[in-house]
Structure 1
Amino acid sequence: MKKGDITREHIIMKSAEIFNQRGYAGTSLNDIIADTGIKKGGIYRHFASKDEIALEAYNYAASMVTRKFSEAVDQEQSASGKLVAFFRVYKNVVNDPPFIGGCPMQNTAVESDDTHLELCGQARLGLHTFLDMLKSIILDGIQAGEFREDLDVDALASFAFSLLEGGILLSKLDGDNKHMLMNIKIFSSYLQQCCLKTC
C-alpha cells in the first residue's frame, strides 16, 4: 500500500471513532487534526471537506460492525442461532462494543435524520443491509424446515432488528447491559415459541 493510501486510511479510521463518539456536529476539523496527528493541509490533500470524511468514516465504521456480525453468524449452524448471534455481538455494548461509541447506524441515524441528508442516506442503506442479512437467514431457516413456512419474513427481521437497536440504545443510556441481555433472552424465547417448526 502506498504512503498516501496509508495516510488516507488512517484519517478514515481515526475519524470514524471520533464521529461515532461525538457525532457529526460535535466533531470539528481541528478534532480530526488533533486525533490523527495530520496537519490541515495533509487532511485536505486526501479529502475535500468534513462531509467527505464523515461519509467515508461512516462506511468504514459500518463495515467493521458488519464484519463482526458476519463472524458471529458464521459460528452458528441453525438459523435461530444465527439470529441470536446478532444480539450477542452487542451483549457488552456498555464496556466493549464492536465499534467504539456503539452502533454507527443508530448514532448516525439519530443525529442526521433532519440535519444531514447524505449521512442519513448512508444510515438507511445500512439499515437495509442488516435487514437483508436477517431476512436471508430467516428464509434459509424456512427452507431448511427449522422455521414455520407461514412465517412473515419481513416482520420477523424488522422485529429482531428493532429489538437489537432498542437494546443498544437502552443499555448505553442506562450504562447497564441488562437491557441487551434481557432482549437476548426474550428474543431467544420468542423464536422457540413462535417461529420454530413443530412436528
Structure 2
Amino acid sequence: MSKGEETRQRIIAQAAPLFNQRGYEGCSIQDIMSATGLEKGGIYRHFGSKEELAAEAFDFAWTLTSTHRRQKLDEIPNHVDRLKQYIANFVSRPRLPGGCPLLNTAVDSDDGNPILREKVRKALRNWKSLLENILNEGIIAGTIRPNIDPLKVASVLIAGLEGGMLISRIERSDRGLHNTLEFLDAYLEMEVRNPIKISKKSDQPVR
C-alpha cells in the first residue's frame, strides 16, 4: 500500500466514528481536521468532497460492524443457534462510537443525501440476504421449520434489533437491547426452530 493510500485509509478510519456519532451535517471538515491532524487541503487531496468521504466512512463503519456480528457463526452447525449467536453479537456491539451505522445513516440521509441513502439501502439488502441464507440453509438441513417465510423472519429480526438499539440509545441503557435479545431468542425457539428430529436408526420423524 502506498503512503498516499495509507493516509487515505487513516482519514476514513478516523472520520467514521465522527460521522456515526454526529451525522453528515453535524460532522464538519474542521472536526475531521482535528481528528486527523491534517489541513483541509490534505483531506481534499484524497477525497473530492465531504460527501465522498462520508460514503467511504459509512462503508468502513458498516464493514467493521458486520464483521463483528458474524463472529463465530461458521462454528455453529444448528441454524437457529447460529441466528441466536448473531443476535448476541449484535447486542455486544463493536467498539464503534455512536451505535449502528445503518440506523444512524438511514435517519441522517433521509432528507436528501442520495449517495448515503443508496449505501444504506445496499447494506440493508445485504443484511437481509445474510439472514435469509441462514434460514434457507436451515430449512434444507431440517433445523428450521419448512413453512416459515425467510424474508419475513429476517425482517422481524432486523426490526427488533434496530428497535432495541434505538430504545437503548434514548434511555441510555442496555436494557432495551437485552430485552430484545430475550424476546428474539424466544421467538426463534417457538416459531422458527424445527421441533422434528430424524432418528438415525429408523429415519422416521420423532419428537
Q: TM-score, normalised by structure 1?
A: 0.94
What does residue range 72-83 of structure 1 map to in structure 2 within 5 Å? Answer: 72-83=72-83
Q: Corresponding residue for 1:172?
A: 169
Q: Corresponding residue for 1:182?
A: 179
Residues 150-196 of structure 1: per-residue CA shift (max 9 Å, x gap): 11111000001101111111111111111111111111111111112
State the distance in 2 between where 1:74 and 1:171 align: 29
What does residue range 3-42 of structure 1 map to in structure 2 within 5 Å? Answer: 3-42=3-42
Aligned residues: 196
Deviation at 1:89, TM superposition (A): 2.0
What does residue range 40-59 of structure 1 map to in structure 2 within 5 Å? Answer: 40-59=40-59
State the distance in 1 between where 2:74 and 2:164 align: 22
What does residue range 6-155 of structure 1 map to in structure 2 within 5 Å? Answer: 6-92=6-92, 97-155=94-152
The unaligned stretches of length 5 or more in structure 1 are none
Residues 100-145 of structure 1: per-residue CA shift (max 9 Å, x gap): 2110010000111122111111011111111000000001111110
Q: What letter corresponds to residue 76 of structure 1 in structure 2?
A: I
SS of residue matched to 2:70: helix
Deviation at 1:28, TM superposition (A): 0.8
State the distance in 1 between where 2:150 and 2:95 align: 26
Q: State whether residues 84 and 188 of structure 1, in contact with CA within 8 Å, keep that contact through their aligned partners in structure 2.
A: yes
Deviation at 1:92, TM superposition (A): 4.2
Q: What letter corresponds to residue 188 of structure 1 in structure 2?
A: D
State the distance in 1 between where 2:70 and 2:192 align: 22
Larger Rg: 2
Q: TM-score, normalised by structure 2?
A: 0.90
Deviation at 1:85, TM superposition (A): 2.0
Identity between Structure 1 and Structure 2 (%) = 36
Q: State whether residues 170 and 179 of structure 1, in contact with CA within 8 Å, keep that contact through their aligned partners in structure 2.
A: yes
SS of residue matched to 1:151: coil
Deviation at 1:80, TM superposition (A): 1.0
SS of residue matched to 2:148: coil
State the distance in 2 between where 1:144 and 1:133 align: 17
State the distance in 2 between where 1:163 and 1:77 align: 24
Q: State whether residues 160 and 187 of structure 1, in contact with CA within 8 Å, keep that contact through their aligned partners in structure 2.
A: yes
Q: Corresponding residue for 1:162?
A: 159
Deviation at 1:98, TM superposition (A): 4.3
CA RMSD of aligned residues (A): 1.3
Against the structure 1 CA distance between its residues 72 and 101, is the aligned structure 2 distance closer, same or farther, given a 3 Å change threshold?
Answer: farther
